[in-house]
Each structure stands twice: as structure tokens, then as C-alpha cells.
């Protein structure tokens, strides 16, 4: 009997708590409301300050880079030469290609590139002391776009690279400017991270 009384007291207490008629919990008129903002249209020629918002990071240039079917092999970047210079420098730094020197006024990059072709890989595997080959990347403006070509740097520049080698050995390896251009095409099209 005592347990039945305890259960009845407990149930009546719960019912009493649930049936409160306190109006402050039901009336929301006194709650704070957010302000009403007026929408403002920005003029079409207005300069928007984007320093507050983080810039989107895009991966690859997709259709802005074209591998031309020419001899010698060239890339076409659908960008002005100075933008192409910046994007190519970014792509070189983000890939495994080392910039050894550059001339911004003439739009030239000297890069150290180890060929990925089968023959060069075999020669590099056999001769561990073989140094990377120095190539010259040339950017040429053409109708608001930029052509990028690659050639093997001259012997003097190759020897300067060999002087950085502790043994001072210069191995004349296989010229693979086609492989360099193709590698750059894939990096620029798919992987380069630009702002």
C-alpha cells in the first residue's frame, strides 16, 4: 500500500509540472528579433574588395592549356604572357621540376628536368651519377595568348649544372624536350593550384 501511495504522489507531481500555465514560455512577442536588412544592388562596374573573402583555389587550367601538334612540341596557354609566366612558375614549383635560372624580361625559364622516358630511366638507373638535364622554357606572346616551347640548354649551361655536382661530371643524356612539354601540359591542365 505504501508503494501505491508513493507512485500516486509521484504521478501527481509529474502531472502538476506538465500543466503549468506560465505565459512567459508560450508568448514569443517579447523575444529579440533579428534586424531586417535592406538588399543593396551593386553597380555593374563597381570594384568589389575581395581581400575579406578567401580566394578560391582552382585545380588545373582545363581548356586554357592546349598541347599543339607541331615540331618542335609546344604548349598554348590561353592567357596573356605575364599571367602565363606566373602560372608556369607556379606549376614548376608545384611539380618535381627545379628552376635553375630565369629571365623575366625575356620570358625565359631554365629548368632542371630528369626525363621520364624508358631509355633515360634505364640510363639513369645504370649511371647513378647522371645529373638532371637543363632545359630552356621560352614563353612567346601571340594574339593575347602565350606559346611555350622547350629546348635543351647549351653546353655552357649544362656544364654549370654539372659544376653543382660534387664530382663535376657532366653526362650528355638523351634530349627529352617533348617529354618536358608533355609533363608540363598535364601539370598545367590537371594539377596546378592557382588563385
Q: Which structural domains are found in the chain, ordered by start?
A: 59-194 (3.30.310.170)
Residue closest to 94 by CA, chosen among 65, 67, 59, 55 = 59
Residue closest to 146 by CA, chosen among 71, 69, 72, 66 = 66
Q: Where are the alpha helices (DSSP H) in 95-176?
A: 118-126, 155-163
For 13-55, the pLDDT digits (tens) are 777 776 556 655 667 777 788 788 777 666 665 555 554 545 4
Q: CA 184 to CA 181: how far, in whole Å?
A: 5
CA 97 vs. chain centroid, Å, equals: 15
Residue 77 has pLDDT above 80, yes or no: yes
Q: State yes or no: cis peptide before 136, omega within 30 of 0.
A: no
For 91-148, the pLDDT digits (tens) are 898 887 899 999 999 999 999 988 765 544 444 545 554 557 899 999 999 999 999 9
Of 86 and 159, which is predicted with more confidence?
Answer: 86
pTM metric for this prediction: 0.59
Amino acid at each position: 500500500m505504501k508503494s501505491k501511495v508513493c507512485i500516486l504522489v509521484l504521478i501527481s507531481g509529474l502531472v502538476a509540472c506538465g500543466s503549468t500555465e506560465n505565459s512567459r514560455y508560450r508568448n514569443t512577442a517579447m523575444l529579440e528579433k533579428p534586424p531586417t536588412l535592406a538588399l543593396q544592388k551593386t553597380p555593374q562596374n563597381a570594384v568589389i574588395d575581395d581581400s575579406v573573402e578567401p580566394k578560391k583555389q582552382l585545380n588545373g587550367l582545363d581548356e586554357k592549356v592546349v598541347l599543339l601538334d607541331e615540331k618542335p612540341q609546344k604548349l598554348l596557354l590561353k592567357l596573356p604572357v605575364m599571367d602565363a609566366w606566373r602560372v608556369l612558375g607556379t606549376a614548376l614549383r608545384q611539380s618535381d621540376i627545379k628552376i635553375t635560372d630565369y629571365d623575366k624580361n625575356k620570358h625565359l625559364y631554365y629548368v632542371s628536368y630528369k626525363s621520364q622516358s624508358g631509355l633515360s630511366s634505364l640510363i639513369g638507373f645504370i649511371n647513378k651519377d647522371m645529373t638532371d638535364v637543363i632545359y630552356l622554357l621560352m614563353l612567346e606572346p601571340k594574339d593575347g595568348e602565350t606559346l611555350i616551347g622547350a629546348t635543351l640548354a647549351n653546353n655552357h649551361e649544362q656544364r654549370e649544372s654539372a659544376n653543382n655536382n660534387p664530382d663535376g661530371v657532366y653526362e650528355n643524356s638523351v634530349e627529352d624536350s617533348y617529354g618536358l612539354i608533355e609533363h608540363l601540359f598535364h601539370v598545367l591542365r590537371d594539377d596546378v593550384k592557382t588563385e
